[in-house]
């Protein structure tokens, strides 16, 4: 079969930063950041959705990469709900977190008396329960359960990756997978949730075709994430279900061209959504003037693509005229944001139609 016939084009966006969470020290560096195209397709054999223009060789993570969300109390509540699912479905003993990042969730599980080991070659901390290595055959650990939180969307060939994890774990055990929900992205026309860094975009049905036995599945974080707990031994190559093909909105970017708000405009959230939102708004002639974020690791740095400076609320809100528009990058945080800004601005939830 011709390669083009194997893929159905869903969405095209050119020259996005390859790392939306990499922060830069100067405006010039941020504007000159490496970029790549997004060519979102539905594979006509597996039914999986991915970026056909993705180049894994350019993806090198370092300590300039900042994606920690756990500073927010609301996000910590989300992590608590995840820990309950893991406890219920996989128990508290003999667990491995694959791609544990900076270790916040792992530390949280350890504090709750989970027996868990983390694997991540980019880990920067000092916890002896984290191995600075990939979880692969020969690591000498066989777990009852593997945890993959926001890892699989970054892996070019997710089925082969899961197969390697299955082999590394002796072909047994369960796996907890959490990823962004593509159906939520489509339903909310969240064009600011499509990133170069995310090569895959999953639906719940992808995992029921990928695993013969799914223990539990559902949605988290007000539908923005989906999760599945499945038996690793039942992993299989998915086949497309022609009765369940992706329904991608033809007007996906319709609110990108909505009228410009008068006066100064700010975004609250200098992470992934904010990077893409500010960049594409700039490209249609509606530039953002201010970026606000509560993460100290982002403050004083510059967003890739636009080169906008990230400011703490204490500085940005003083300079922003009352009544100015603040685009809230994630409506889950609206009440937190209103409270921190004394409800003095015009708030627009970008993920609400």
Query: 177-224 pLDDT, tens per residue?
Result: 999 999 999 999 999 999 999 999 999 999 999 999 999 999 999 999
Residues 9 and 120 both lie in one domain? yes
For residues 136-154, average pLDDT: 93
Residues 242 and 263 both lie in one domain? no
CA distance 95 to 87: 10
Residues 204 and 336 both lie in one domain? no
Residue 62 has pLDDT above 90, yes or no: no
DSSP-derived 3-state class of residue 281:
helix
Angstrom CA distances, 101 to 24, 38, 77, 288, stand at 19, 25, 19, 30
- What pLDDT does residue 1 have? 47
- Domain boundary among the residues 210, 225, 252 is at 252
The secondary structure element, H or E, covering residue 244 is none
- Domain of 234 in residue numbering reads as 1-252
Q: How many domains does the chain have?
A: 2
- What pLDDT does residue 140 have? 84
Residues 247 and 305 both lie in one domain? no
CB-neighbour burial class of residue 13 (10 A; exposed 0-12, middle 13-18, buried 19+): buried
* Cα-to-chain-centroid distance, residue 92: 25
Q: 214 with 236: CB under 8 angstroms? A: no
CA distance 279 to 21: 14
- Domain boundary among the residues 190, 223, 252 is at 252
- Domain boundary among the residues 194, 227, 252 is at 252
Q: 222 with 91: CB under 8 angstroms? A: no
Query: E strands within the chain?
Result: 7-17, 35-43, 49-51, 95-98, 116-119, 130-131, 145-149, 174-180, 200-201, 214-220, 225-231, 265-268, 290-292, 310-311, 325-328, 346-349
CA distance 86 to 78: 13
The two structure tokens encoding residue 11: 């969405």
For residues 236-243, average pLDDT: 96
Q: Which residues contact 307 (CB under 8 A, 6 or more apart)?
A: 24, 27, 28, 30, 31
CATH of the domain at 96: 3.40.50.150
For residues 299-304, average pLDDT: 96
CA distance 134 to 352: 38
Residues 14 and 140 both lie in one domain? yes
- Number of Cα atoms under 13 Å in the Cβ half of residue 211: 24
For residues 63-81, average pLDDT: 72
Residues 131 and 200 both lie in one domain? yes
* Cα-to-chain-centroid distance, residue 298: 17
Q: How confident is the model at residue 4 (pLDDT cuts 50, 70, 90)?
A: low
DSSP-derived 3-state class of residue 175:
strand
For residues 24-43, average pLDDT: 97
Q: What is the average pLDDT score of the chain? A: 93
Residue 26 has pLDDT above 50, yes or no: yes
Residues 137 and 273 both lie in one domain? no
Residues 178 and 294 both lie in one domain? no
Residues 100 and 222 both lie in one domain? yes
CATH of the domain at 318: 3.40.50.720
The two structure tokens encoding residue 197: 């860094």
**With pLDDT > 70 as the criterion, what percentage of the chain qualifies?**
95
Q: At what angle do helices 104-111 and 73-90 cross, to 10 degrees?
A: 60
Q: 84 with 112: CB under 8 angstroms? A: no
Candidates 231, 94, 133; CA nearest to 176 is 231
Give me Rg for the CA atoms of the chain.
20
The two structure tokens encoding residue 85: 């699912």
- What pLDDT does residue 353 have? 61
Residues 209 and 71 both lie in one domain? yes
For residues 152-169, average pLDDT: 96
Residue 83 has pLDDT above 90, yes or no: yes
Residues 309 and 221 both lie in one domain? no
Residues 65 and 172 both lie in one domain? yes
CB-neighbour burial class of residue 160 (10 A; exposed 0-12, middle 13-18, buried 19+): exposed
């Amino acid at each position: 079969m011709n390669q083009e016939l194997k893929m159905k084009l869903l969405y095209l966006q050119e020259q996005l930063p390859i790392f939306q969470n990499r922060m830069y020290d100067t405006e010039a560096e941020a504007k000159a950041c490496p970029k790549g195209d997004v060519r979102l397709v539905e594979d006509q054999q597996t039914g999986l959705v991915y970026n056909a223009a993705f180049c894994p060789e350019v993806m090198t993570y370092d300590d300039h990469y900042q994606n920690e969300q756990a500073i927010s109390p609301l996000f910590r509540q989300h992590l608590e709900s995840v820990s309950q699912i893991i406890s219920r479905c996989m128990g508290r003993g003999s667990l491995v977190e694959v791609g544990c990042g900076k270790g916040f969730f792992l530390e949280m599980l350890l504090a709750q008396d989970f027996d868990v080991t983390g694997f991540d070659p980019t880990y920067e901390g000092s916890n002896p329960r984290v191995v600075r290595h990939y979880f692969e055959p020969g690591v000498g650990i066989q777990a009852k359960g593997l945890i993959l939180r926001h890892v699989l969307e970054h892996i070019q060939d997710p089925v082969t990756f899961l197969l390697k994890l299955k082999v590394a774990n002796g072909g047994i055990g369960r796996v907890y997978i959490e990823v962004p929900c593509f159906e939520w992205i489509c339903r909310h026309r969240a064009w600011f949730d499509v990133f170069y860094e995310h090569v895959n975009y999953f639906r719940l049905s992808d995992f029921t075709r990928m695993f013969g036995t799914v223990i539990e599945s559902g949605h988290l974080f007000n539908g923005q994430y989906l999760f599945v707990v499945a038996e690793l031994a039942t992993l299989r190559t998915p086949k497309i279900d022609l009765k369940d093909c992706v329904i991608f909105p033809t007007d996906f970017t319709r609110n990108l061209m909505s009228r410009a708000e008068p006066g100064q405009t700010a975004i609250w959230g200098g992470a992934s959504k904010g990077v893409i939102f500010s960049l594409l708004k700039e490209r249609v002639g509606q530039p953002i003037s201010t970026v606000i974020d509560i993460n100290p690791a982002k403050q004083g740095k510059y967003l890739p693509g636009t080169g906008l400076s990230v400011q703490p609320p204490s500085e940005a809100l003083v300079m922003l005229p009352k009544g100015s528009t603040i685009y809230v990058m994630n409506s889950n945080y609206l009440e937190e944001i209103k409270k921190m800004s004394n409800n003095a601005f015009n708030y627009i939830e970008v993920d609400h139609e």
